[in-house]
A and B are shown apart, each in its own frame.
Chain A
Amino acid sequence: NAGVTQTPKFQVLKTGQSMTLQCAQDMNHEYMSWYRQDPGMGLRLIHYSVGAGITDQGEVPNGYNVSRSTTEDFPLRLLSAAPSQTSVYFCASSYSTGLAGVPGEQYFGPGTRLTVT
């Protein structure tokens, strides 16, 4: 298994540009999430999905959109990039524990390092 994969590894954008960060997992996990990691702020949840067709907001969703049309893919779209979105972005996936709404062990992708100038 490849696990959780993310593309691109690095990206530089100008303010106002849009782009999509790709995330895919081959473990048939129901749950997928996007986090951003910033120095001194730790990891913060942007959006998450509990299955194909179902997404919801995390704690820092503004400026980002997601969709989940398949179990495997969970792309993150930056609508109009801002310097405040300079960060490292991680995608993660989890299996279902069988308890309603409770994911199990979380697996992370290698990250996308984004710089907005």
Chain B
Amino acid sequence: KQEVTQIPAALSVPEGENLVLNCSFTDSAIYNLQWFRQDPGKGLTSLLLIQSSQREQTSGRLNASLDKSSGRSTLYIAASQPGDSATYLCAVRNYGGATNKLIFGTGTLLAVQP
């Protein structure tokens, strides 16, 4: 059974710092991995989608990497800003079974201090 873990559960950094959020998964048979951010009381906003054949994806100050063989993904945020404060979730889509199901981690709550 696929399990997705995100460490740390919470992180506080000063503005301007570069930071890395971690996501690990137990079953490497995935189609893709997606990173989301969720602001308090809001829905999920898609940040990046990495296909299983890709090693990384970039969007602005965000860079996500995927190492399928080791079951890990990282989300790198450059030059963090207070507006980056949110909960960050990763989710994987498995081969076989219910491919419509995204399996989510429990998230990392990020606070960027001005």
A residues with a Cβ closer than 8 A to B are: 4, 31, 33, 40, 42-43, 45, 48, 50, 56, 58-59, 90, 92, 97, 99, 101-111, 113
Contact = CB atoms under 8 A, between A and B. Distances in A.
B100 A90 contact: no
Tell me what chain A mostly uses at the interface: helix, strand, loop, or mixed. strand
A33 B101 CA distance: 9
A47 to B, nearest CB: 10
Contacts of A111: 42-43
A58 B98 contact: yes
Interface in B21-80: 31-32, 34, 36, 41-46, 49
A110 B100 contact: no
B81 interface: no
A42 B49 contact: no
Contacts of B41: 113
A110 B43 contact: yes
14 contacts: A40-B106, A43-B89, A45-B98, A45-B101, A50-B100, A58-B98, A103-B93, A104-B32, A105-B34, A106-B46, A106-B91, A108-B36, A108-B44, A111-B42
Contact of A90 (B32, B44, B46, B105): B44
Contacts of B98: 45, 48, 56, 58
